[in-house]
Amino acid sequence: MLDFLKQVDISDDVIEKINDKYDEVMKFNLNINAENCLGIILYMKKVGINNIGDLLIDKPDWFLKTSSDFISKIVANKKLINMINEDYDNVDI
C-alpha cells in the first residue's frame, strides 16, 4: 500500500516499520494523500532535511498536510530545518 514511497527513494525498511507501527487507517490516509506526501518529501530533500525516513515513522501526520501548507511553514521559519534535523520530537508543524 505504501509502495508509492519508493518513488522518492524511501527504503523498504522504513516502509516496513511504518506498516508495523501504524494501523490500517493511518496507512490508508498516507496512501490517499500520496501526492502531498511525495511533494513534502521532495521539498524536504530540496531544503536539506536529512531524517525523512525517521519522520515518516515517527511523525506521519506531517505528511498528511497539504504540501503547500507544509512548505509555507518552513519558508516562514527557516530555523525549522535545523530544528527538524537536530530534534524533530520538539518540533510542531
The tens digit of pLDDT for each residue in 68-79 reads 999 999 999 989
Cell numbers for 59: 511523525
The pLDDT of residue 55: 97
Rg (CA), the chain: 12
| Cβ 74 vs Cβ 43: under 8 Å | yes
The tens digit of pLDDT for each residue in 7-54 reads 999 999 999 999 999 999 999 999 999 999 999 999 999 999 999 999
Task: Work out the pLDDT band at 86, boundaries 50, 70, 90.
Answer: very high
Cell numbers for 16: 516496513
Hey, where are the domains in the chain? 10-90
This prediction's pTM: 0.93
